[in-house]
Amino acid sequence: MAKVLMKGNEAIGEAAIRAGCRYFFGYPITPQTELPEYMSVRLPQVGGVFLQAESEIGAINMVYGASGSGARAMTASSSPGIALKQEGISYICAARLPCVIVNIVRGGPGLGGIQPAQSDYFQATRGGGNGDYRLLVFAPASLQETIEIVEGSFELSEKYRVPVLIVGDGMIGQMMEPIDFGEAPMQESPEKSWATTGTGGSREPNIINSLYLDPAMLEQVNISLDHTYKEIEANEQRAEEIGIQDADVVVVAYGMTARIAKKAIEESQAEGYKVGLIRPITLWPYPFASFEKINPNAKGILCVEMSMGQMIDDVKIAANGRWKTSFYGRAGGMVPEPDEIKNEIIKIIKGES
């Protein structure tokens, strides 16, 4: 198929439809609004349902219902809207339902602004909702990668019965890039023995629930979830690694920030510095395995984010005291320039940081 030029939000919508998603529940918020707008036009064309909910809380609970009955369902929002969905997300995790959630992140806290940010890392990986739960969290850095992740996420979510959260800063939603939609992904869901599709009089009813008043039973739910999370940690860590084995400095950045960091790394390399990159593609499970390949004699690790420092916590856990870690961030919708990152890299190399 020939390449087309699409806007990120549209491309996410098209990729979801190609992956068999036929139900989208959402509520407008900048900078993700083109996604529900696109779904409102496209889903009726393919026999699906687009529903603008009365609120973000309404939308996530509609996903809960649709997913409980076995459908491939999706919702999307931007930062404060995702904050509103947290209760539903926790319920969906407890009820072991698959679904795909998209967060096109804007600056916070509070209503914040509408320009790109990465300040929802804690919300995405530490759980904004209650209880022991995890989400499979992806952070693509190009639109081609975004559509490939969206297309694979429904199947992945069903495999583990864990929601997938796709985190893109505002730019991923708003920018244009050439996209090559390859072969259509698998649209058919495997048999969902747990879904509320009607007993046909031949089995006991399936119950979708997150309330367990018996502590022993609730502990079993937690243990079972934990087994799944350990399996995900073992199988699903993804990262892009560039030149980390012999680097003097390794930059760790995800999403669009990694694109800016790459430019800074290229410019540093042109000046003779040895600089590598770890770009986490999954934020949870965090790609700890990549850090094991870093040059043991590297002078330091530089974490760059569009926030005041959130992923840096995971970078420190991964470094485990073996390398000096430092942080550079811009916040509130400000986007770092390659030169700012390059200066930080050089400071580490010269021992000034």
Partner 1 sequence: MSNLKIVTGHYGSGKTEFCVNYAIQSAKINPTTLIDLDIVNPYFRSREQEALLSSKGVKVIGGSKGIEASDMPALPSSIYGQIDERFDTVIFDVGGDANGARALSRYSGLISKRDYDMYIVINANRPLTQTPEQAISYIDSIQAKSRLKINGLINSTHMLRETVAADIIKGYELCSRVQEATQIPIAFNVCPPFLNIGELEGIINKLFRIQLYMRPDWL
List residues near partner 1 by CB under 8 A. Answer: 3-7, 10, 30-31, 113-116, 170-171, 174-178, 259-260, 262-263, 333, 338
Task: Report, in Å, the least distance between residue 257 CB and partner 1.
Answer: 10
Task: Report, in Å, the least distance between residue 219 CB and partner 1.
Answer: 47
Residue 63 phi, psi dihedral angles, 5° rounding: -65, -45
Q: Strand (E) positions, 139-289?
A: 164-169, 176-179, 239-242, 249-252, 275-280, 282-284
Task: Report, in Å, the least distance between residue 134 CB and partner 1.
Answer: 31
Strand, helix or coil for residue 74 = strand
Terminal Cα-to-Cα distance of the chain (whole angstroms): 49
Residue 111 or 186 having the CB closest to partner 1: 111
Task: Report, in Å, the least distance between residue 249 CB and partner 1.
Answer: 18
Torsional class of 110: left (φ above 0), alpha (ψ -120 to 50), beta (otherwise): left
Q: Give the span between the Cα atoms of 64 and 69, in whole angstroms.
A: 9
Residue 1 or 211 having the CB closest to partner 1: 1
Task: Report, in Å, the least distance between residue 175 CB and partner 1.
Answer: 7
Element (H, E) at 300: strand 300-305
Residue 119 or 157 having the CB closest to partner 1: 119
Residue 148 or 314 having the CB closest to partner 1: 148
Q: Give the span between the Cα atoms of 214 and 78, in whole angstroms.
A: 36
Residue 161 or 342 having the CB closest to partner 1: 342
Residue 6 or 225 having the CB closest to partner 1: 6
CA distances from 30 to 259, 291, 309, 325, 353 (A): 23, 35, 24, 34, 37
Q: Kindly report whether the peptide bond that precedes residue 116 is cis, defined as omega within 30 degrees of 0.
A: no
Q: Give the span between the Cα atoms of 77 and 105, in whole angstroms.
A: 8
Q: Give the span between the Cα atoms of 305 and 107, in whole angstroms.
A: 12
The residue behind tokens 């509320």 is: 196
Q: Give the span between the Cα atoms of 46 and 69, in whole angstroms.
A: 19
Task: Report, in Å, the least distance between residue 193 CB and partner 1.
Answer: 39
Please name the residues in contact with 115: beta carbons below 8 A apart, sequence gap of 6 or more.
106, 107, 170, 332, 333, 334, 335
Residue 172 or 252 having the CB closest to partner 1: 172
Cβ–Cβ under 8 Å, residues 265 and 251: yes
CA distances from 128 to 85, 120, 124, 133, 209 (A): 9, 10, 7, 10, 20
Task: Report, in Å, the least distance between residue 179 CB and partner 1.
Answer: 10
Task: Report, in Å, the least distance between residue 243 CB and partner 1.
Answer: 18
Residue 79 or 157 having the CB closest to partner 1: 79
Task: Report, in Å, the least distance between residue 221 CB and partner 1.
Answer: 42
Residue 116 or 329 having the CB closest to partner 1: 116
